[in-house]
Amino acid sequence: MNPGSSACRAMTAALLRRRETAPLHEMSLCEGVLRILQEQARVQDYSRVLKVTLEIGELSCAVPESMELCFEAVTRGTLAEGATLEIVRTPGEAWCQDCQIAVPMKERISPCPHCGGFRMKVQSGDSMRVQQLEVD
Ligand SMILES: [Zn+2]
């Protein structure tokens, strides 16, 4: 564990206690997820969400632990209150412009494993999406 992520978690908890609409990254991501759930409830005609499987790329800035905290806070009093949040990490992939090949990427700042260069273009694993829903 690096000290940065635990500080971030502590901040998240503090913000949640104050119940402010803080410009917190994970908070707005979770609000986005809730909007999707509400839209889908109209389209697919369900009234309760039991489980949400969320795909989070390894290169996205969303911290899974913070997502869990925020999801619980954001869904309180909604159709997804008490729903289980399952997070699936998807691997990052980048295109090396020097080698002209796609390579796996663990962190955004990683160099190309073949040439050691940094002319990398992220191709996947930098986003988040709702993969699966269990509804009632
Ligand atoms: Zn390369």
DSSP assignment of 80-91:
TTT-EEEEEEE-
Q: How far is CA 114 from the centre of its chain?
A: 29
Cα(89) to centroid of ligand 1, in Å? Answer: 24
Number of domains in the chain: 1
How far is the centre of ligand 1, averaged over its atoms, from the C-alpha of 111 (Å)?
A: 8
Q: Which helix (H) or strand (E) segment is 52 a member of?
A: strand 49-57
Distance between Cα 61 and ligand 1 center (Å): 24
CATH code, 39: 3.30.2320.50
Q: How far apart are CA 82 and CA 77, in angstroms?
A: 9
Range of the domain at 51: 3-90+124-135
d(CA 136, CA 128): 24
The alpha carbon of 120 and the centre of ligand 1 are apart by a number of angstroms equal to: 8
Please report, in tens digits, the pLDDT of each residue of the chain (136 residues total). 444 444 445 445 444 454 444 446 899 999 999 999 999 999 999 999 999 999 999 998 888 889 999 999 999 999 999 999 999 999 999 999 999 999 999 888 899 999 999 999 999 999 999 999 999 9
Whether residue 15 is contained in a domain is answered as yes
Closest by Cα among 117, 108, 49 to 81: 49
